[in-house]
Amino acid sequence: MTRKAIYPGTFDPITFGHLDVIERAAALYDKLFIAVAKSEDKNPLFTVAERIEMISEAVKKYDNVEVESFEGLVVDYAVRKQVKVVIRGLRMISDFEYEFQMALTNRKLNSDIETVFMMPKDSYSYLSSRLIKEVSRLGADISKFVPSHVERKLRGKKDE
Ligand SMILES: Nc1ncnc2c1ncn2[C@@H]1O[C@H](COP(=O)(O)OP(=O)(O)OP(=O)(O)O)[C@@H](O)[C@H]1O
Ligand SMILES: [Mg+2]
């Protein structure tokens, strides 16, 4: 049996925090699908295609990780992919309430799908895409937070 998992998110853009979770999940599962949600309500800075490109570059060293986009419910996407595990990252207590609600809602929607939480290395536990975009816009050095190709893309956006 191939053990597969989905890691859904907006990834606007991918950070070292996401990559820490990906590394852990890729070591546990035979196949990991990174599923990029459009998240139009979040008004993303990068298009889905740009986000996929940045993730693909960052995960090319893993031969069991695939990147794609999806629309609609995560649980429906999981069924289409024949995957039973959804990976989510847990940073601070502040993530807990929302993630807990979402995991239980997804379980109500489809009780075959299990949510698995992973905690990043402590030094990444404060990283969020939102904050990185904000400090990058204000001119901060973000090389500690994102891979260099993502840093370049962020700088490019600033000049647009
Ligand atoms: N630094 C991190 N460490 C561990 N998990 C993370 C980290 N950043 C994000 N995640 C997890 O990755 C998943 C997808 O997150 P998402 O794409 O919303 O990123 P985000 O950084 O939270 O972005 P935003 O700031 O736009 O909400 C979620 O489960 C989230 O908890
Ligand atoms: Mg988030």
How do residues 58-84 score in pLDDT, each as one tens digit?
999 999 999 999 999 999 999 999 999
Does 159 score more than 80 pLDDT?
Answer: no
* 60: CATH: 3.40.50.620
What's the CA gap between 145 and 45, in Å, rounded? Answer: 17
Task: Give the count of domains, the chain.
Answer: 1
pLDDT at 157: 85
Does 18 participate in catalysis according to the annotation?
Answer: yes
Which residue has the least CA distance to atom 14 on ligand 1? 9
Mean pLDDT of 23-33: 98
- Bridge partners of 37, per DSSP, are 70
Q: 95-148, pLDDT tens digit by residue?
A: 899 999 999 999 999 999 999 999 999 999 999 999 999 999 999 999 999 999
Residue in this structure with the two tokens 């901060």, named with its chain if needed? 140
pLDDT at 104: 97
Expressed in angstroms and rounded, the spacing between residue 99 Cα and the centre of ligand 2 is 10
Going 16 to 138 to 8 to 148, the CA torsion angle's sign is negative
Expressed in angstroms and rounded, the spacing between residue 17 Cα and the centre of ligand 1 is 7
The answer to whether 84 and 110 are in contact (CB under 8 A) is: no
- Answer whether the bond into residue 44 is a cis peptide, omega within 30°: no
Task: State the residue range of the domain holding 125.
Answer: 4-159
Expressed in angstroms and rounded, the spacing between residue 31 Cα and the centre of ligand 2 is 23
Does 155 score more than 70 pLDDT?
Answer: yes
Does 149 participate in catalysis according to the annotation?
Answer: no
pLDDT at 160: 67
For the record, the structure tokens of 132 come out as: 């990185």
pTM: 0.96
The answer to whether 51 and 59 are in contact (CB under 8 A) is: no
